[in-house]
Structure 1
Amino acid sequence: MLFIFGLKTVVRALPGRPATCRNCGQFVQHYLDEHARKFTLFFIPVFTTSRSYQITCSNCGRVSSISDRERKALGG
C-alpha cells in the first residue's frame, strides 16, 4: 500500500489596520498574514500543525512576526 503525505504552508490575508510603524515612524496601513502549516494526505489537508502571523508595513515594507495574543489584540 502506498501513502503520499507531506506538509503544506497556506498563507491567508487577514484584515489589517492603520498603525504607527516601529521602523519608519509613519502612521500607515499594516497588512496581516496568517501562515498555517498543514499535514496533507494524498494532497488533501487533514489538520493544521502550526500557525504563525506576520504584519507588514505598507510604507517601508518591514515584516514582523507577531504572536497569536498580539493578533487578537489587533482585533483580527
Structure 2
Amino acid sequence: MIIFGTRRTVAQLAMVVLTCANCRRTAANAVLKAVTKFTLFFIPLFPVRTRYATQCTACGFHQWIEKGQAEQLRHVPAPWSGPAANGHAAPGQYPGAHG
C-alpha cells in the first residue's frame, strides 16, 4: 500500500499597511507564501504549487496575489520600523498616550 497526498505550509513574509478590499479599513495585512508539496508516506518531497496572498488583520479576508506583487510588498518598510522599532513606543505614538 502506497500512501501519498499533499501538504500545505504557509509562511508570513511581511506585515504591511493596506486598505482591505473587503472591509475597506486601512489595517495591517500579512503577506503570505503558501507552498503545497507532494507527500509520499507523509514525507513532503517536492513543491507542486506556490501561491502568495495578503490577509487583513481586521476582518481576516485573504486575497491571492502574484509573486511580483508579494515581492514588492515584502520590501515596503513597515510604519513601525522607525526609532520605536525596538519594542518601546515613542511618547505620543499611540492615541491617548501622554508623554
**Which structure 1 residue ranges, 4+ long, deviate > 6 Å from structure 2?**
none
Q: CA deviation digits over 1:14-61, x for unaligned, max 9?
A: 222112333444332101222211011121111000111121112233
* CA-atom RMSD in angstroms: 1.9
**Highest CA radius of gyration, 1 or 2?**
2
User: What residue in structure 2 maps to residue 33 of structure 1?
Assistant: 32
Identity score, percent: 32
Where relative contact order (Cα < 8 A, 6+ residues apart) is larger, the structure is 1
Question: Displacement of 1:13 after TM fit?
Answer: 2.2
Which of the two has greater strand per residue?
Answer: 1
TM-score of the aligned structures, taking structure 2 as reference length: 0.63
Q: 1:4 offset after TM fit, Å?
A: 2.3
Contiguous gaps of at least 5 residues in structure 1: none
Q: Would you tell me which structure has more helix in proportion to its own residues?
A: 2
| Residue equivalent to 1:20 | 19
CA distance in 2, matches of 1:7, 1:54: 19
Q: How many residues end up aligned between the 2 structures?
A: 75
1:62 matched to which residue of 2? 61
Q: Structure 2: any 5+ residue segments left out of the alignment?
A: 76-99
Question: For residues 61 and 47 of structure 1, what CA distance do their matches in structure 2 show?
Answer: 29
Moved more, 46-55 or 11-20: 11-20
Contact 2:31 2:74 in 1 (8 A): no
1:42 matches 2:45: no
